[in-house]
Amino acid sequence: MRQTVFITGASSGIGRSTALHFLERGWNVAATMRSPEKANDWLRGDRVLALRLDVTDSGSIQAAVDRALAHYGDVNVLVNNAGYGAIGPFEASTPEQVERQIATNVIGLMNVTRALLPHFRERRSGLILNVASVGGRVTFPLYSLYHSTKWAVEGFSEALVYELEPHKIRVKIIEPGPIRTDFYDRSQDVMSKPGLTAYDEFVAKVTPAIRKASANAPGPEIVARTIYRAATDGSHRLRYPVNSASILLLRRFIPTSVFMGTVRKLFRA
């Protein structure tokens, strides 16, 4: 029987590549995004269902889940991919930016998960793949707000393992490092405040290293392949680093002060 994957944030980047990867391997794909009417021709066909879903809109979440289940009869894998990055000095953030970052990257992910849990429990099977980040276990300059959400996703996912194990539902975390997507440009929210210049020198030092990391990064296909492997390897493995294993290994085995000094040198900060 053909399996079905439900993906959030499938309009571009990692989400789009993941949807295509599963399609090419014979899966049904419920590809969700805020504006499916703007989707390209790849969202046409018997095995793909384009659905409107805004993770900050609980009504759209439930409607998309209901439509996917009605259309396919089953969902086997949930890929919580929707998210974006806020960048800049935290002092320059507005309350609205803080709320939107948390609402999208954390609360939205939780709400989509909650919407599918009854189905997974009823069938006593299911897999939740949460796309976190290397920034969920290490930190870099100017990403304090973004890091707070990805660390939350890591903690939420790891704790969820315990309570879902008795229901035969697995939880896994995907941890991409730098990936060449619109994360670094179109989808990024830059935090700045008129008249606040105290951080200008720091930002000027750090920004070139961020741009270099994005320019030299692999494309989103590498993450799509890892997500597919996590969905199909049959294991209970929790974490899947993607282009991030080296820095995570370094963080694990050296003292915090030494690691942070390395980051300072890397970003010339």
Q: How far apart are the first and last CA of the chain?
A: 54
Dist CA 103 CA 268 (whole Å): 32
Residue 7 tokens, joined:
């993906």
Residue listed under structure tokens 């294991």: 235
| Catalytic-labelled residue, pool 84, 143, 146, 240 | 146
Distance of CA 246 to the CA centre of its chain: 20
Strands 126-131 and 239-242, bridge-based pairing: unpaired
Residue 19 tokens, joined:
């949807």
Catalytic (active site) residue 240: no
Residue 174: half-sphere exposure toward Cβ, Cα within 13 Å = 28
Residue 237: half-sphere exposure toward Cβ, Cα within 13 Å = 14
Residues carrying an active site annotation:
146
